[in-house]
Structure formats: C-alpha cells, structure tokens
Amino acid sequence: MPYEKESEQVVDYPLEDVFKAAVFCIKHMGGKVIKQDQEKGILHAQMDKKLFGNYLGDRSKLEVQFTEQEKGQTAIHIFAYPLDAIGQKLMFGARKGVVDTIIKTFYEDVMKYLQKNFPS
C-alpha cells in the first residue's frame, strides 16, 4: 500500500537516551504515546492532524523499533501510516506527504533533543 512508509536511521547515541528522546519528542510534536516498552525497544504513537501549529490534514501512527548497535549506536526503524477519524488505518483518500513530514520532523526533533541533552 502506498500510504505506508518505512524508514531507518542510525544515531550515535545509546538506546536508553534515544528512547527517552523519542518519547519526549512524540509529546513535543503533539502526539500521544499509545504503547511503549523500552526493554523490547518498542514505541507506538498517534500523531495529530496538526504539527507545531501547521495543519497537515491527516492523523498518523508511528510504530518505532529501536535496536542497539555496536559502539553505542542505536538504529531507529519507523513503520508509519495515516489514520482515519476513529484511529484505523486509512485505506484511501490520504493527503500526500503527511506521513513523510511526520517521519522527517520526528528524526529532526530527536536529533535536536539528543544533541542538546547528551552532548558528545
């Protein structure tokens, strides 16, 4: 399905710090954490139609998996898709670019948080 997006990025921070940053950033972006398990590296979130005051048009769900890598690195794998008004996967009529914007902003926000709170 073209509405589903997957993305992966590796960051030079330990899993514990990245997970903490991700939870903070979901809330900072106006989202709601719906499932979290740091030991398993799982974080699921529902994002609102608005992002920092800008209207995007669709809600989105992020399913994030964190995997500890070598040398204190963490891989962030995101599976994301748009949601309808009752929180179910949107199968048609989604606005183009909304999920991509959410993913891009999430990565940027996590990196800003990590650089500010855990300088190397």
Q: How many helices (H) and strands (E) does the chain have?
A: 2, 7
Residue bearing the bigger pLDDT, 70 or 106 = 106
CATH of the domain at 79: 3.30.530.20
CB proximity list for 104: less than 8 A, separation 6 or greater? none
The chain-wide mean pLDDT, for the chain, equals: 94
Q: Which of 113, 4, 18, 108 is nearest to 62 (CA)?
A: 4
pTM for this entry: 0.93
Q: How many domains does the chain have?
A: 1
For β-strands 59-68 and 42-47, DSSP reports them as antiparallel
Angstrom distance (rounded) from CA 90 to CA 49: 13
Q: Is the pLDDT of residue 75 over 60?
A: yes
Residue span of the structural domain in which 79 resides:
5-117
CB proximity list for 3: less than 8 A, separation 6 or greater? 81, 82, 89, 90, 91, 94, 99
Q: Is the pLDDT of residue 120 over 70?
A: no
